Amino acid sequence: MTVKPRYLVLLLFILLVGSNPIYAATKPVDPKILHLINRLSFGAKPGDIQKVQSLGVEGYIKQQLSPNSISEPPSLTRQLSQLETLRLNTVEVREYLKNSPQPNTPENRYQPQRKDKIIQEAVKARLLRATNSNRQLQEVMVDFWYNHFNVYGGKGNARLWTSAYEQEAIRPYVFGRFRDLLGATAHHPAMLFYLDNWLNKGSGHRGVTPKVNENYARELMELHTLGVDGGYTQQDVIALARIFTGWGIARPNQQTNGKSLFYFEPKFHDPSDKVFLGHTIKSSGQAEGEAALDILARSPATAHHISYQLAQYFVSDRPPTSLVNRLTQRFLKTDGNIRAVLETLFQSPEFWDKKYFNAKFKTPLQYTVSAVRATGLEVNNTLPLSRNLEQLEMPLYGCRTPDGFKNTEDVWLNPEAMNRRLSFATALGGGRVPLLGKVNNPPKNKSINRIQPLDATQLINTLGNSLSPKTQSAIATSPPELKAALVLGSPEFMRR
């Protein structure tokens, strides 16, 4: 997409404008409420500020940490129910594809192939939930944990299982025990395929040529648990890879439990005893892997690594050591209870330190979703949002490397990225992002609904009148058709 220079002018206009009379819709809202909404959700929707004011800060945090207590909009429930592939486990995915109709028949000529439909519906579901769900902290944590245990949806069969991976291995555990989350990702065919453990073979059976693959073992320690400075050695990587030999994916002729294609193949497992991180693990087949996961989940290095990442995501790109240490101790004392660690984080003085308010630069996902949420518009068509994420180089399920997308300013703040964000802000503010979807009888050459240009006053009210005097001055002196774009393209809105 070629971005026209006028979009960059909008940003320069905001940054360079003088102190003209302030364009203020309402009195500013308590910064603590705005901080809470910005960090525990993808951004304010109309009415969110009033909701927090009604519940109180503690009440809102408590509610968001218990998502099952929060009712969802009926429209969202209905939309998700229409995504037929969203409910399929990996076994059902295989059957779904096996029974796929021929794409060249007249009735299916213009339908996406089933393998494409799976990833398309996964993207749609994630964006519908992020923009419309009342369980915002849950959606924020899905974003966090999916990046932590990233699987690239464009790699071979991982494309078929990415949706099931999120529904089965990520979503159910975002507030649970870390060990359960770790185990769910370790067993999932999407992860086994993405990091090549399905190719990991030991010398457990005559006629089997050993081919130990270290990819998963290395990333399991470096990214998922201990961290790069977690104290492990290359010998630990080799030992862990041998421990996970035989953990793979069932072939069509192999019996599964009907819920997952995970399959442990004894003949591919290295049956020798292993020494891992100073622990002797006796030969016991699949149980060796479970023992290794237990060791990793309970390691102080893992507690520190996870605590640092949570503090970085919710507080600052360079989180305070005092907070990381406090979260680490909470992690260890609760046996990795994620909800308990988050409670400690949200009650910490560091989280509420004003120097960290608006200190986090939004990722493309956070920016795109927050902009749509601020409009209050119902989202039926997520395609413009997914395309915008591709333009901003953060496609859902599209991170090729196992470390996932970063959430720090240095990665996302650059002139070209800002140009593209301003292009989206201008289109959304001007009513040219077709969120409503298709109409039944569109005019000639008009296949999608248009919405009216957004009301800048409504946007400012939704955001708690948190814009700087310079931004408010720019809005006050700008043409009516640019006012909403200036709100959504403002420096303040780029941060959370």
State the total domains in the chain: 3
Residues 288, 147 within the same domain: yes
CA-based nearest residue to 336, from 290, 368, 288, 302: 302
How far, CA to CA in Å, does 92 sit from each of 164, 248, 428? 10, 18, 38
Q: Looking at residue 293, what is its pLDDT?
A: 98
Q: Looking at residue 25, what is its pLDDT?
A: 52
Given 273, 298, 323, which residue is the final one in a domain? Answer: 298
Given 276, 298, 320, which residue is the final one in a domain? Answer: 298
**Statement: residue 441 has pLDDT above 80:** no
Give the pTM. 0.92
pLDDT: is 415 or 8 the higher one? Answer: 415
* Residues 337-377 pLDDT 10s: 999 999 999 999 999 999 999 999 999 999 999 999 999 99
In a domain, 170, yes or no: yes
Compute the average pLDDT of residues 307-322: 98
Q: Looking at residue 203, what is its pLDDT?
A: 77
Structural domain that includes position 340 = 310-356
In this structure, of 9-18, 73-82, 140-149, 265-274, the range with the lowest mean pLDDT score is 9-18
Q: Which two tokens stand for residue 451?
A: 């919405």
* Residues 183-219 pLDDT 10s: 999 999 999 999 999 999 997 677 778 899 999 999 9
Name the range with the highest mean pLDDT among 111-120, 251-260, 343-352.
Answer: 343-352
Residues 133, 220 within the same domain: yes
Q: Looking at residue 101, what is its pLDDT?
A: 67
**If pLDDT is split at 50, 70 and 90, which confidence band does 113 have?**
confident
CB atoms within 10 A of CB 342: 22
Q: Tell me, what amino acid is at 82? A: Q
Percent of the chain with pLDDT over 70: 89
* Residues 84-107 pLDDT 10s: 999 999 999 999 998 876 655 555
Residues in Cβ contact with 118 at an 8 Å cutoff, skipping those fewer than 6 apart: 85, 88, 93, 96, 159, 160, 162, 163
Q: Looking at residue 13, what is its pLDDT?
A: 52
Residues 145, 218 within the same domain: yes
In a domain, 436, yes or no: yes
Residues 248, 351 within the same domain: no
Residues 285, 323 within the same domain: no
Q: Looking at residue 452, what is its pLDDT?
A: 80
**Phi and psi based region of residue 485 (left: phi greater than 0; alpha: psi -120 to 50; beta: remaining):** alpha
> For all residues of the chain together, what is the average pLDDT?
91
CA separation for the pair 294, 273 (Å, rounded): 17
Contact 389, 364 (CB under 8 A): yes
First to last CA, the chain: 27
Q: Looking at residue 450, what is its pLDDT?
A: 57
Residues 50, 149 within the same domain: no
CB atoms within 10 A of CB 358: 18
In a domain, 238, yes or no: yes
Find how far residue 265's CA is from the centre of its chain. 32
**Statement: residue 4 has pLDDT above 60:** no
Residues 137, 272 within the same domain: yes
Compute the average pLDDT of residues 266-294: 97
**If pLDDT is split at 50, 70 and 90, which confidence band does 123 have?**
very high
Q: Which two tokens stand for residue 327?
A: 């979260």
Contact 20, 477 (CB under 8 A): yes
CB atoms within 10 A of CB 257: 11
Residues 148, 255 within the same domain: yes
CA separation for the pair 375, 456 (Å, rounded): 9
**Statement: residue 49 has pLDDT above 70:** yes
* Residues 218-229 pLDDT 10s: 999 999 999 999
Residues 91, 42 within the same domain: no
In a domain, 112, yes or no: no
**If pLDDT is split at 50, 70 and 90, which confidence band does 436 have?**
confident
Residues 375, 232 within the same domain: no
In a domain, 143, yes or no: yes
CA separation for the pair 403, 133 (Å, rounded): 27
Burial of 424 (0-12, 13-18, 19+ CB in 10 A): buried
Residues 294, 344 within the same domain: no
Residues 337, 368 within the same domain: no
In a domain, 48, yes or no: yes
Q: Looking at residue 207, what is its pLDDT?
A: 73
Q: Tell me, what amino acid is at 223? A: L
Q: Looking at residue 391, what is its pLDDT?
A: 97
**Statement: residue 282 has pLDDT above 90:** yes
Given 252, 268, 298, which residue is the final one in a domain? Answer: 298
**If pLDDT is split at 50, 70 and 90, which confidence band does 153 have?**
very high
In a domain, 121, yes or no: no
Compute the average pLDDT of residues 247-265: 92
CA-based nearest residue to 368, from 38, 128, 42, 4: 42
**Statement: residue 9 has pLDDT above 70:** no
**Statement: residue 5 has pLDDT above 80:** no
DSSP code string of 421-436: HHHHHHHHHTT-S--S
In a domain, 122, yes or no: no
CA-based nearest residue to 438, from 396, 362, 384: 384
* Residues 158-182 pLDDT 10s: 999 999 999 999 999 999 999 999 9
**Statement: residue 265 has pLDDT above 50:** yes
Compute the average pLDDT of residues 300-313: 98
